[in-house]
Amino acid sequence: MAVLPNRFLVKLDSSNDYFKTFQPHHGVLRLTIDNATEITGEKKSGAKRLLQKLVKDIPDCYCDVNVGAEGEWRTSTIKNKHDPQWNETHDFLVTDYEQRITIDLNDEDLGGDDDIGIATTTVKQLLLNGGSQTLTLSHKGQPLETKVTIHGKFFNFVGESNSISASSQNEGEICGLATVLIASVNGLNGQRDELKPSVKVTWGDKEFVTPVKSYSPGTDIFNPSFDTAFRFPITAEQLSNPHSFKLSLQNGTSEQGSVDIPFDSVTGANGMNREEEFDVGSGATIRARFSIRGLQLAE
């Protein structure tokens, strides 16, 4: 996790304001896997090599694609092609332009998929190359004749209310990002050894929970600090009828109080940021910031 360009924030001063030091995402890379050429497949051995002699082996290819520490995306499988064309697109969140793009080309096989080769570049290299690159694959450190062509468009995150729109968005494409920062909880009551506070953030069918805090000498369990960020990519389908955000104060697995924050109360706020101490009942508050960002094509 600490390998560059991936990063995480370490708070050295307890008085440091998390809202001022948090580093937001830069934007979205809309990456298209176009095609691959001259695929010969992995050199086979044993039973697979014997089968290859009996049956003309034409690869059934797919790509596993990674951008930095984002979740892996897999293309569809193109059957019986030495030069498959996918022309498939996926959106990746970008926190650093040096994030590595990795395309792992595989041959789907009932007896276990064969690794054909890997190609890599970075977000920065792709964009500096005009948004298109043809990459040479390598297998076990050896270059291959196989090449894969990719395209990319970069969209900056912007805070103008007219920047988030469901128009001209294809299914599954990101049209915005909601980020929820949980700084602290204040005003807890009870026996300190029995307090196990955490904060759950819910939006639609997605939910995240901060780490659970517990008392130890020198800590203020009645006003615990969390300094945790959660993100919710927004699609056109979600934007058409957006849910409210929900903050829930937990003690262990038990909910102690909650508050709903309407989506339009964030988009209607200055810069699409809403930051305050949210009252969740019984004198307790959650200090949180809700930010929504739309997309603007980078020039």
More confident residue, 245 or 44: 245
Q: Which of 61-65, 114-118, 164-168 bottoms out in mean pLDDT, i.e. has the lowest? A: 164-168
Contact criterion met (CB below 8 Å) for 94 and 154: yes
Taking 90 as the threshold, does the pLDDT of residue 186 lie above it? yes
Whole-angstrom Cα distance, residue 25 to residue 94?
Answer: 6
> How high is the mean pLDDT of the chain?
90
Taking 80 as the threshold, does the pLDDT of residue 33 lie above it? yes
Nearest to 20 by CA among 28, 9, 6: 9
Q: Which of 55-59, 223-227, 228-232, 247-251 bottoms out in mean pLDDT, i.e. has the lowest? A: 55-59
User: What's 165's DSSP letter?
Assistant: -
Whole-angstrom Cα distance, residue 152 to residue 130?
Answer: 9
Whole-angstrom Cα distance, residue 223 to residue 190?
Answer: 12
Q: Which two tokens stand for residue 66?
A: 């990674």
For CATH 2.60.40.150, the residue range(s) in the chain are 27-156, 161-297
Whole-angstrom Cα distance, residue 171 to residue 16?
Answer: 41
Give 8's pLDDT tier (boundaries 50, 70, 90).
low
Class of domain 161-297: mainly beta
Cα within 13 Å of Cα(70), Cβ side = 26
pTM of the entire predicted model:
0.87
pLDDT for 58 equals: 82
User: Mean per-residue pLDDT for 271-282?
Assistant: 96
Q: Which of 104-113, 160-169, 198-207, 287-296 bottoms out in mean pLDDT, i.e. has the lowest? A: 160-169
Domain 27-156: assigned CATH number = 2.60.40.150
Give 10's pLDDT tier (boundaries 50, 70, 90).
confident
Helix (H, G, I), strand (E, B) or coil at 224: coil
Is 270 exposed, middle or buried (CB count within 10 Å of its CB: 0-12, 13-18, 19+)? exposed
